[in-house]
Amino acid sequence: MIGGLIVDIHGQMHPEQWVELGFTLSKASLNSGKFSASGSSICYLAIQVHSVSFETLLRGSRSLGKFIDEQDNNWYLCVPSPTNPKPKTGSYYNGGFIMKTFGSRYTGIVAAIHIELPQWVRDIKEYPKFCKALARAIINF
């Protein structure tokens, strides 16, 4: 089905304190709803799961954001997700070099997702719990 998945994890200190999921779609695109799979780093994955709309895969009931949100009694809030479908005026990082170079945005069969973690998730006590939650979320995704 899919050739692979790259998960590029970074840290951020944005005031919203949410987990930011980047798919090479701009904040403006997410806010306006004007985006397509062909401009995303998960384009090939979206083509493979043709029974699911791209919006559902990106920020709906089949999104990684939804599966992360569901972990540990909705402890981890993500954008985009059903809870936070768009960043609105909040801070948001959409992915960088790795997503644009190695994701399936223009070609290829590898999906790439950029994850920006808030400082509290990177705390020595929280990080092991989040890693397990993220692993479960990726498996469900």
pLDDT at 30: 97
Please write the tens of the pLDDT for every residue from 107-118: 889 999 999 999
Q: What is the pLDDT of residues 38-47, one digit of tens each?
A: 989 999 999 9
Scan for tokens 């509290």, then name that residue: 120
pLDDT in tens, 66-91: 999 998 777 899 999 999 999 999 99
What pLDDT is attached to residue 74? 73
Q: What was the pLDDT predicted at 19?
A: 97
Q: Rounded to whole angstroms, what are the CA distances from 17 to 43, 44, 97?
A: 28, 30, 23
Domain-wise residue ranges, the chain? 4-140
- In the block, which residue shows the tokens 């981890």? 76
Which is nearest to 114 in space by CA: 99, 127, 128?
99
**Opening angle at CA 141, ends 124 and 136, nearest 5:** 35
Distance, in Å, from the CA atom of 104 to the CA atom of 38, rounded to the nearest integer, reads 9
